[in-house]
C-alpha cells in the first residue's frame, strides 16, 4: 500500500518542468529591469579589462537583485576577459557566512587551492599567499563581498583596506584587485578613513524596490522558464505581483510562485489559479517575517514588540505613536535596555514601516497637532509578538 502511494506521487505529473529555475541561486539569461544597472557596472569596470583596479558598492533592500545582478555581471566580465586572453579570477564571498578577515581570506584562497589548510595561517600570511597566487597567475582578482555589512560589523574595515591597497603598494609589483561590496545598508559610511580613501564615494549603484509591474515581468519570465506552457493563469501572476509589490521583493515573488506551483501539484491539478497563490501566501508569510525580523536591530525589535503588545490588547485597528512609545519604554525595561530618545524611537518606527511590517498614517480628525497612527495590516499581533520573543 505504502509503496503504491509513494510510487504514485513520484510518477505523478507536475506543472513544473524545470524546478531548478526556481532556485534562489539560479541566474536567468536576462534580468528584466536591471539592464541599466548592468550597463553602469560595465562602464565602471572597463578599467578592469585593462588590468586596473576598480571598486564599487551595490546597495538596495532585500530581493532587489543585488546578488543576481553582480553574479551575472562578474561571470560575463570573466568570459569577455578570457576571450582577450586576460585572466580575471572572480570570487564571491557571503560575509554573513564568513564574517571575519581570516574566514574571508580563507574563502578566497580555497578558490585558488581547494586544499588550502583552514588553520595555521595568520591574516598577514594569507594576504602574502594571495598576492603571490595572483602574481604567479598574472590574474586580476574580482572580489565580491556580499552582505558586506556583516563583515564590517564584526571585523571592521581592515581587510578592505589591506586588499584595496594591494594595487597601489609601491614596494610590490602591481597586483590588480577589484572589490564590489553588496549591502542593504550604507557600508561606505562604516568604512574608516583609511579604507574609505581607496573606495571612491561615487561608485555606488542603488537598486530600488521593484514596482508591481516590474515584479510582474520577473514572474512572467520565471513562469516561462519553469512551468509547462499554459499551466499558470495570468490572473495568478497578477496576484503574485500585487502581493509582492508591498515589499518590492523579487525573492518573495518567486517564492510565492514556487510554493503555489508545489501546492497545485499536491492537489493533482494542472492549472495554477489565484486561490493557490493565496494558499502559498498564507504559508510563506511566516518565513518572510522571520528573515525580515532577523534584519532588525534590538531596539527596532523592541519597538515592534511594543506595537504588537498594544494591538493584542486593543480592539482598535490603529494605535497612536504616543501609546507605542510608552509601551516601548516599559518593554525596554523588561529587557534591561535603556529606552532611546524620542528621535531615535521615531527612526525605529520609520525603519519598521520601511521593512513592511507596519503602516503609519496621519490622523484625519480632531487631534491637537498631527498625530500619527500605526496599524499592522498583515500579520496577527499575537503571532508577531511570539516570533519577536524568540529573537530577543
Ligand X SMILES: Nc1ncnc2c1ncn2[C@@H]1O[C@H](COP(=O)(O)OP(=O)(O)O)[C@@H](O)[C@H]1O
Candidate residues 63, 107, 248, 339; the one interacting with ligand X per rule CB under 6 A: 63
Could you say which of Mg ion, ligand X, none residue 28 binds, taking C-beta under 5 to 8 angstroms by partner kind?
A: ligand X
Residue 240, all three cell numbers: 503574485
Cell 594571495 locates to 130
* Residues in touch with Mg ion (CB under 5 A): 66-67
Q: CB–CB of 57/205 below 8 Å?
A: yes
Could you say which of ligand X, Mg ion, none residue 281 binds, taking C-beta under 5 to 8 angstroms by partner kind?
A: none
Residue nearest to ligand X (CB): 65
| CA distances (Å), origin 306, targets 212, 301, 347, 391 | 31, 9, 15, 14
How many alpha carbons lie under 13 Å from residue 117 in its C-beta half-sphere?
Answer: 6
Candidate residues 45, 55, 66, 127; the one interacting with ligand X per rule CB under 6 A: 66
Cell 565580491 locates to 144
> Is residue 62 involved in binding ligand X (CB under 6 A)?
yes
CB 135 → ligand X: shortest distance, Å? 32
Q: How many CB atoms lie within 10 A of CB 17?
A: 12
Give dist(CA 330, CA 392) in Å, integer.
Answer: 15
Q: CB–CB of 44/203 below 8 Å?
A: yes
> Is residue 60 involved in binding ligand X (CB under 6 A)?
yes
Could you say which of ligand X, Mg ion, none residue 251 binds, taking C-beta under 5 to 8 angstroms by partner kind?
A: ligand X
> Is residue 93 involved in binding ligand X (CB under 6 A)?
no
Could you say which of ligand X, Mg ion, none residue 277 binds, taking C-beta under 5 to 8 angstroms by partner kind?
A: none
**Closer to Mg ion by Cβ: residue 67 or 99:** 67
Q: Pattern of binders to ligand X over 123-162, x per CB under 6 A?
A: ----------------------------------------
CB 190 → ligand X: shortest distance, Å? 19
Give dist(CA 392, CA 389) in Å, integer.
Answer: 5
Candidate residues 15, 65, 167, 348; the one interacting with ligand X per rule CB under 6 A: 65
Q: CB–CB of 90/74 below 8 Å?
A: yes
Coil vs helix vs strand at 188: helix
Binding site for ligand X (CB under 6 A): 24, 28, 31-34, 60, 62-68, 218, 221, 250-251, 254
Amino acid at each position: 500500500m505504502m509503496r503504491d502511494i509513494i510510487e504514485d506521487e513520484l510518477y505523478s505529473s507536475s506543472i513544473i518542468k524545470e524546478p531548478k529555475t526556481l532556485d534562489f541561486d539560479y541566474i536567468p539569461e536576462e534580468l528584466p529591469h536591471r539592464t541599466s544597472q548592468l550597463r553602469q557596472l560595465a562602464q565602471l569596470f572597463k578599467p578592469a579589462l585593462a588590468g586596473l583596479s576598480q571598486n564599487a558598492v551595490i546597495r538596495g533592500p532585500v530581493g532587489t537583485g543585488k546578488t543576481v545582478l553582480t553574479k551575472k555581471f562578474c561571470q560575463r566580465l570573466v568570459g569577455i576577459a578570457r576571450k582577450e586572453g586576460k585572466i580575471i579570477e572572480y570570487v564571491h564571498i557571503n560575509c554573513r557566512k564568513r564574517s571575519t578577515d581570516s574566514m574571508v581570506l580563507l574563502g578566497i584562497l580555497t578558490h585558488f587551492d581547494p586544499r588550502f589548510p583552514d588553520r595555521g595561517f595568520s591574516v598577514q600570511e594569507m594576504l602574502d599567499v594571495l598576492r603571490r597566487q595572483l602574481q604567479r597567475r598574472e590574474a586580476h582578482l574580482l572580489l565580491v563581498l556580499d552582505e558586506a555589512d556583516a563583515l564590517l560589523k564584526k571585523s571592521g574595515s581592515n581587510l578592505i583596506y589591506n586588499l584595496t591597497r594591494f594595487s597601489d603598494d609601491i614596494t610590490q609589483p602591481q597586483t590588480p584587485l577589484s572589490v564590489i561590496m553588496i549591502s542593504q545598508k550604507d557600508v561606505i559610511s562604516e568604512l574608516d578613513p583609511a579604507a574609505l580613501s581607496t573606495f571612491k564615494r561615487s561608485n555606488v549603484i542603488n537598486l530600488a524596490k521593484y514596482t508591481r509591474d516590474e515584479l510582474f515581468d520577473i514572474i512572467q519570465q520565471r513562469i516561462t522558464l519553469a512551468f509547462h506552457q499554459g499551466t499558470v493563469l495570468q490572473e495568478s501572476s497578477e496576484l503574485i505581483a500585487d502581493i509582492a509589490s508591498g515589499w518590492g521583493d523579487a525573492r518573495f515573488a518567486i517564492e510565492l510562485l514556487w510554493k503555489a506551483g508545489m501546492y497545485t501539484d499536491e492537489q493533482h491539478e494542472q492549472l495554477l489559479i489565484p486561490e493557490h497563490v493565496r494558499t502559498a501566501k498564507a504559508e510563506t508569510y511566516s518565513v518572510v517575517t522571520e528573515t525580515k525580523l532577523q534584519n532588525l536591530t534590538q531596539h527596532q525589535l523592541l519597538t515592534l514588540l511594543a506595537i504588537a503588545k498594544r494591538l493584542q490588547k486593543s480592539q482598535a485597528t490603529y494605535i497612536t505613536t504616543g501609546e507605542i512609545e510608552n509601551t516601548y519604554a516599559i518593554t525596554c525595561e523588561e529587557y534591561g535596555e535603556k529606552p532611546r530618545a524620542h528621535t531615535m524611537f521615531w527612526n525605529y518606527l520609520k525603519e519598521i514601516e520601511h521593512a513592511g511590517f507596519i503602516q503609519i498614517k496621519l490622523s484625519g480628525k480632531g487631534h491637537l497637532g498631527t498625530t500619527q497612527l500605526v496599524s499592522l495590516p498583515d500579520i496577527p499581533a499575537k503571532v508577531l509578538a511570539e516570533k519577536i520573543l524568540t529573537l530577543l
